[in-house]
Amino acid sequence: MQKNSCQPLKPGRLINEISKLFHDRIKKQSDDLGFKNGYHQILRFLVREDGVTQIDIVKDSHFKAPTISVTLKKMEEEGLVRRETDKIDMRQTRVYITEKGRELDRKLFAKVMECEDILAQTISEEEQAFLCDILKKMRSNLLEIADGTEGGTKK
């Protein structure tokens, strides 16, 4: 919320503020469901791609490998996921979502969709599509820098 400002808001500041408001709302919803922070993104990925390796989860989530390892251990202790050694490559461990994990994911996903609806309630579908195109470009710009590339070339 901009107060007493002479300068127009920059996109990054607005994105940050919206992200914080969205995150805070989802965190409260998560807390109400007994959901630990950080589990949602992993469960969402496993719903789409069950039986992946921890490295696959790291790549999808952009979290660091040690963070994923610790989080998966906690999730396994809570019965949300199970880990099994790959039958073909014994060096690999596969991660699977349990029914308890699926149920928790369904509950939180419903809450996330409610929040998405609130975000978009006064925005047309055409405006949403345009906004998503712009946000994807912005994300790509930041990912290029994070990957050590700018303008398509490695630094």
What per-residue confidence (pLDDT) applies to 71? Answer: 94
Whether residue 150 is predicted with pLDDT greater than 60 in this model: the reply is no
Within this chain, do residues 115 and 153 fall inside the same structural domain, yes or no?
A: no
Within this chain, do residues 104 and 28 fall inside the same structural domain, yes or no?
A: yes
For residue 35, the domain's CATH number is 1.10.10.10
Angle between helix 125-146 and helix 11-33 axes, rounded to 10 deg: 100
What per-residue confidence (pLDDT) applies to 149? Answer: 53
Percent with pLDDT over 90 in the chain: 66
Q: Are 86 and 93 in contact (CB under 8 A)?
A: yes
What per-residue confidence (pLDDT) applies to 14? Answer: 92
Rounded to whole angstroms, how far apart are CA atoms 58 and 68? 7
Instruction: Give a yes or no: residue 5 inside a domain.
Output: no
Full-prediction pTM beyond 0.85?
A: no
Beta bridge partners of 17: none
Rounded to whole angstroms, how far apart are CA atoms 33 and 100? 13
pLDDT in tens, 113-129: 999 999 999 999 999 99
Within this chain, do residues 41 and 63 fall inside the same structural domain, yes or no?
A: yes
Within this chain, do residues 15 and 74 fall inside the same structural domain, yes or no?
A: yes
Whether residue 140 is predicted with pLDDT greater than 60 in this model: the reply is yes
Within this chain, do residues 94 and 138 fall inside the same structural domain, yes or no?
A: no
What domain range is 34 assigned to? Answer: 11-121
> How are the residues of the chain apportioned to helix, strand and coil, as percentages rounded to the nearest 5?
65, 10, 25
Provide the domain count of the chain.
2
